[in-house]
Structure 1
Amino acid sequence: MLSLTSLSTTLLLAATVALGPLATDMYLPAMPQMGELLGASTGQVQMTLSLYMAGFALAQLICGPLADSLGRKPVMIGGLLLFTVASVGCALATDIEGLMLCRFLQALGGSAGPVLGRAAVRDIHSPREAARIMGLMAAIMGLAPALAPTLGGLLLAASGWPAIFLALAGYALLMVTLIALRLPEPLPLHYRQPLRPRPLLRNYGTVLRDRSFQGYAVTNALVFSGLFAFLSGSSFVLIDFLGVSPSAFGAYFSVIVFGFVSGSFLSARLARRFSPDQLLRAGLGIAVLGSGLMAALAWAEVFTRMAVILPQMLFMIGVGLTLPQTLAGALAPFPHMAGSASAIYGCLQMSAAALTGLLVGHFHNGTSQTMATVIAVCALAAGLSYLLRAARQPAPGFDAAPSHG
């Protein structure tokens, strides 16, 4: 078994959390072709992404409390096994309705990895250290969205889109094996919560009433929705509108992921010199700047690949700085119920993302304007949410003087 505080454990948790971006990003290059082969519209294909987010949101409300009661490992293993089976179902789907159903089931199982991987970090580390570890994990797992579209494009060219989902099934099965054999149970016995409706609802009520949690969770949901707006619309903007080939899509996507990894790396590196709220303010400012620039270029009808890629990369630097701080801030007040807090946090995040994806699909006008506008609105709303709530009610320890040791 690994030591809970070892780098190997951090790497394993990062690989488990990476299942989330893999399940959304790997099939992005295939979306236009899937629509053509399954006889589905752009909106229907984008619905497979939004349904995944909706299932992800719903499942977190179940797996979080289960894990607070039974422990992280058994729930992670059970969820990942369901993800594996559903991924095979996606590969065998012959119509868009079947694919939608399997994507929803895939999300129900897949949520256990990312949600409980994050909760495990809070189980193991203090709030400030958790922010640093989450930044490090985000930088490590940034390899997943960087490589996923390229790998998806290669699998698409070699074997067709079903191969993408079979690869996801194999990855999930590998995570099940490693977690079962190598990961110690991170949740101490004295933090276990009874699995009864009344304590569960009481825990949810406690989390939702906390003003600090509200500020960080809503700020996160909004800035993540901006990221998801790009995921939902990028293949149709870059491939259908701007003429990028599916095989080259991954290369353009990697530039954007580089922005996220850079922001996450900066978050981990600067965590000892600046307070989490200082990093959060900087990240939100960069996100607003990048998204505003992309929207301005789109409405000025500057329709080039770089007019999308470079501003989105800047936005993603801001996202990489922001997400570790909002997550650590939201979970900081709840060391005794991190699973429940992480579940509500993730549910808000994914619900907002699912709605954003529907908006991008419904109002898509064949250009980059709808996508860019939604991203800019999300970033601006996230900044306002922080100023109106999180900045006024910072998480415990978040406004403390940074260490220069």
Structure 2
Amino acid sequence: MPAPPATALVASPRVTPLLAAVALSLLLGLQPVTTDVYLPALPMLTAALGAPMSQAQLTMSALILAFGLAQMVWGPVSDRVGRRPVLLLGLSLYTVASAGCALAGSIELLVLWRVLQGAALAAAVVCARAIVRDLYEPVQGAQVMALALSGLGVIALLGPLLGGVTALAFGWRGPLTLVTAVAALTLIFIAARLPETLARPDPGATRLLPLLRRWGGIAANPVFRAWALLVACTYGGLFTLLAASSFVYMDVYGLSPAAYGAAMALGSLSYLGGTLLCRRWIPRHGLAGAVRRGGVFTLAGGLLIATTTWAGLPAPWAVGAVLLSQCVYCFGHGMHQPCGQAGVVAPFPQAAGAASALAGLLLALVAFAVGRWLGGALDGSVRPLAWGLAFWSLMTVTLAWTWVQRTEG
């Protein structure tokens, strides 16, 4: 067998499934760390910086938009130069931006630092998705991704709890300082333990015209479209929870930051349970079969919050209904995400970075639209959260029960 060309990068045999799962958990876990840890402090920083609701929501939606757009750059670059250089640069920028967020003196500066944070976060997430395709075939990749997302679930479980505690102890800057520490530790781990996984870089991956044709081909692929839309819609519901829940739980129902963190942690625990069940269902039912079953939980969560909000339950019961709806929806989300993340890159072993980036852009556009809508829709009631979650649950199950099922044909 001829030796690979000198420019080729050979995927290291040292990347065991356990190492891959831990690395993926940390890299993908930065996304809930970025969005969830500071949620208990969101009403506090809104008041401290004198920010209107639209600007407070911009700290979430602008980050997500930058996150989506930057993936379109990081994905092709990682296909050209490898995953490791992109990860090290992106994680370094992410650490700096996180420190900037913690030190920001105005809402405008905070939004700017969050934009840079989102752009840097994109490098970690797009490379993590591509690494799965570098190392594994789709079904095995989905199982490793489910294991990694179980680790992400643990991170998401601890994030709001720690965010609530640090917000009570140190004010709104406390959770953002915690994010900076997590960023630095992740950078150290990846630099020390994760080797290159891309066996053969593509020197033409960043050429504009071929890249546009590649994206066009990816977007035209019906398998990609089905899974990318599923991932975007299920995240649309999750982002509705993330962006609206702190105001609903804390401002409408009067929960403390610590109690709110505990409520979000229950949702993360449910998400973790969904990923664990997903790992059992994938070998038995395949990717499409797993999300078909997961759709039952997604729909139940959306319908529950819509019907109980419409019924106008009194406050103690209403809080319980919102919390139960959140947990059931997150359980379904824990099944859709591992399958969807593997499904979007499955048809493209030689362009996993570009496919991951395109799917990430779609997800970010959905989340940005949700954030901008909530900036004007939040009215001191639970209704925007309820109607938004119900809408995205219907969109998700429609895709999970129709278009996604046809990908197996």
Tell me the TM-score range normalised by the shorter chain. over 0.9
Matching residue's letter, 2:287: P
Deviation readout 1:184-204 (Å, 9 max, x if unpaired): 101112666532112211211
**Aligned equivalents of 1:19 and 1:30: distance in 2?**
18
Q: Using the TM superposition, name which of 184-193 and 361-370 deviates more.
A: 184-193
Q: Equivalent pairs: percent with the same residue?
A: 36
How far has the Cα of 1:216 moved from its partner?
A: 1.0
How far has the Cα of 1:287 moved from its partner?
A: 0.2
The match for 2:399 is 385
Check if 1:295 corresponds to 2:306.
yes
How far has the Cα of 1:44 moved from its partner?
A: 1.7
- Contact kept in structure 1, 2:301 and 2:393, CA below 8 Å: no
The match for 1:214 is 225
The match for 1:307 is 321
Q: 1:154 aligns with which of 165, 169, 183?
A: 165
Matching residue's letter, 1:98: L
Check if 1:361 corresponds to 2:370.
no
Matching residue's letter, 1:103: R
Check if 1:130 corresponds to 2:144.
no
- Contact kept in structure 2, 1:71 and 1:192, CA below 8 Å: no
The match for 1:107 is 118
| SS of match in other structure, 2:285 | coil
- Contact kept in structure 2, 1:291 and 1:375, CA below 8 Å: yes
- Contact kept in structure 2, 1:260 and 1:320, CA below 8 Å: yes
The match for 2:61 is 50
Check if 1:320 corresponds to 2:354.
no
Matching residue's letter, 1:76: L
- Contact kept in structure 2, 1:2 and 1:8, CA below 8 Å: no
Matching residue's letter, 1:26: V
Matching residue's letter, 1:150: L
Deviation readout 1:92-125 (Å, 9 max, x if unpaired): 2111111111100111111111221121011111
Q: How does 1:5-404 map to 2 (within 5 A)?
A: 5-189=16-200, 193-302=204-313, 303=315, 304-392=318-406, 394=407, 398=408
RMSD between aligned alpha carbons?
1.5
Consecutive unaligned residues in structure 1, runs of 5 or more: 400-405
Q: Using the TM superposition, name which of 259-268 and 190-199 deviates more.
A: 190-199
Q: Using the TM superposition, name which of 131-140 and 224-233 deviates more.
A: 131-140
TM-score, length-scaled by structure 1: 0.94
How far has the Cα of 1:2 moved from its partner?
A: 7.7
**Aligned equivalents of 2:257 and 2:174: distance in 1?**
15
Matching residue's letter, 1:369: R
| SS of match in other structure, 1:187 | coil
Deviation readout 1:354-378 (Å, 9 max, x if unpaired): 1112212311121111111111111
Alignment size in residue pairs: 395
- Contact kept in structure 2, 1:127 and 1:329, CA below 8 Å: yes
Check if 1:3 corresponds to 2:14.
yes
Taking structure 1 as reference, are residues 94 and 190 closer, same or farther at Cα in structure 2, changes over 3 Å only?
closer
- Contact kept in structure 1, 2:161 and 2:262, CA below 8 Å: yes
**Aligned equivalents of 1:190 and 1:367: distance in 2?**
51
Consecutive unaligned residues in structure 2, runs of 5 or more: 1-11
| SS of match in other structure, 2:293 | helix
How far has the Cα of 1:265 moved from its partner?
A: 0.6
**Aligned equivalents of 1:310 and 1:390: distance in 2?**
27
**Aligned equivalents of 2:135 and 2:401: distance in 1?**
30
| SS of match in other structure, 1:273 | helix
- Contact kept in structure 1, 2:233 and 2:366, CA below 8 Å: yes
- Contact kept in structure 2, 1:2 and 1:183, CA below 8 Å: no
TM-score, length-scaled by structure 2: 0.93
**Aligned equivalents of 2:67 and 2:208: distance in 1?**
21
**Aligned equivalents of 1:194 and 1:119: distance in 2?**
14
Q: Using the TM superposition, name which of 383-392 and 90-99 deviates more.
A: 383-392
Q: Using the TM superposition, name which of 222-231 and 132-141 deviates more.
A: 132-141
